[in-house]
């Protein structure tokens, strides 16, 4: 399953230092409603994680470094291929 490539690309740009946190937030803000329309979708979960990290940074709970680490970890987990489970009685 592929999630919105534009959202992933923009987050990847931020994680790789190709855009600033402000750039990411400015890009996401007008698109947020479309991503969180289905909060259980992969797009909704990713947008929600980004927004949560931004809010935590704004409140002084997170540093930018911990934000990058958390978002990289979440993106990796979200985009990981599901492992095949084999049942053997």
pLDDT tens-digit readout, 12-51: 999 999 999 999 999 999 999 999 998 888 889 999 999 9
pTM here is: 0.81
| Residue 89 covered by a domain | no
Q: What contacts 24+ positions apart, CB below 8 Å, involve 30-38?
A: 31/7, 35/4, 35/7
Q: What is the per-residue pLDDT for 61?
A: 96
| Residue 85 covered by a domain | no
**Residue 89's pLDDT band (boundaries 50, 70, 90)?**
low
What's the total number of domains in the chain? Answer: 1
| Residue 88 covered by a domain | no
Q: At what angle do helices 64-79 and 5-15 cross, to 10 degrees?
A: 140
| Residue 84 covered by a domain | no
Q: Which residues span the domain enclosing 40?
A: 5-79
| C-alpha span between 25 and 14 (Å, rounded) | 10
**Residue 1's pLDDT band (boundaries 50, 70, 90)?**
very low
| Residue 25 covered by a domain | yes
The string of pLDDT tens digits covering residues 54-64 is 999 999 999 99
């Amino acid at each position: 399953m592929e999630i919105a490539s534009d959202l992933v690309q923009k987050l990847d740009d931020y994680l790789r230092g190709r855009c600033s946190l402000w750039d990411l937030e400015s890009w996401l803000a007008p698109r947020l409603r479309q991503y969180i329309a289905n909060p259980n979708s992969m797009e909704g979960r990713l947008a929600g994680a980004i927004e949560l990290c931004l809010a935590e940074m704004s409140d002084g709970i997170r540093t930018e470094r911990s934000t990058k680490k958390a978002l990289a970890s979440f993106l990796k987990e979200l985009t990981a291929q599901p492992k095949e489970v084999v049942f053997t009685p």
